[in-house]
Amino acid sequence: MDHPIDHYWQLRLTALKKALESNNFEVFIANSAVDAGHLVLEKILPKAGARRISWGGSMTFIATGLYDALKNMPNLEILDTFNKALSPEDALELRRQSLLVDLFITGANAVTETGELVNLDMTGNRVAAITFGPRHVVVLVGRNKLVPDLETAMVRIKEYAAPANAMRLDKKTPCVKTSVCEECKSPDRICNTWSITQKSFPKGRVKVVLINESLGL
């Protein structure tokens, strides 16, 4: 067999799609980050009829090419929360406004085999948008985010994703020095709000794009 690992993951992602669909998520499978970008631009976006779009922190979102494609797209109102030229006050206000867009795009820290999305946020704009506000939400998930259950999801996030993200963001937290979470009280702490999205409400509001590639942290 050619590409046995991709075949293995295709089967795992197909089972995961079924589990997520039983939890009322709309689910797509893409073979690569680039394919996921095309899927969002050519299928999800037109169907949603979205005019006002924003996003929350996600390395996977960048990997799909969607950030570069969308921010330069005419006829869309883009609330670019990644714009580093904004003052802290303006950046915060834009994140508040991003909770009322037609379509919000982000990633997930973990997804369980039983079809739940698990996230841990610093600011909270990402978990807020997934939970309520935007009319449509697209969650981009690389195959490396799949875990058996909620407990494993939380261990994955606290033992790996959070310290690695703190390193990526150059935070001044103990985990950056040791790689181990010390439940810090640092002002730079990135672990502030957990969310477990067990089901999409209303049905289909949250669209999950499962990507047969390892992406993000």
The structure tokens listed for 34 are 């680039």
Give whichever of 186 and 195 is closer to ligand SF4, judged by the CB atom.
186
Spatial distance between the Cα atoms of 172 and 107, rounded to a whole number of angstroms: 24
Give whichever of 21 and 188 is closer to ligand SF4, judged by the CB atom.
188
Give whichever of 64 and 109 is closer to ligand SF4, judged by the CB atom.
109
| Shortest Å, Cβ 140 to ligand SF4 | 23
- Give me the residues that bind ligand SF4 (CB under 6 A), please: 162-163, 166, 173-175, 181-184, 186, 189-191
Query: 1, 11, 2, 4: which is closest to 143 by C-alpha?
Result: 11
Beta-carbon contacts of residue 46 (< 8 Å; ≥ 6 apart): none
| Shortest Å, Cβ 26 to ligand SF4 | 32
Give whichever of 190 and 209 is closer to ligand SF4, judged by the CB atom.
190
CA distances from 157 to 107, 183, 209 (A): 13, 13, 20
| Shortest Å, Cβ 65 to ligand SF4 | 29
Give whichever of 101 and 166 is closer to ligand SF4, judged by the CB atom.
166
Spatial distance between the Cα atoms of 45 and 50, rounded to a whole number of angstroms: 6
Locus of tokens 């867009």: 101
| Shortest Å, Cβ 161 to ligand SF4 | 9
| Shortest Å, Cβ 162 to ligand SF4 | 4
| Shortest Å, Cβ 91 to ligand SF4 | 20
DSSP symbols for 47-114 = HHT--EEEE-S-HHHHHTTHHHHHHT-TT-EEE-TT-TTS-HHHHHHHHHHGGGSSEEEEE-SEEETT
Spatial distance between the Cα atoms of 9 and 110, rounded to a whole number of angstroms: 16
Give whichever of 31 and 193 is closer to ligand SF4, judged by the CB atom.
193
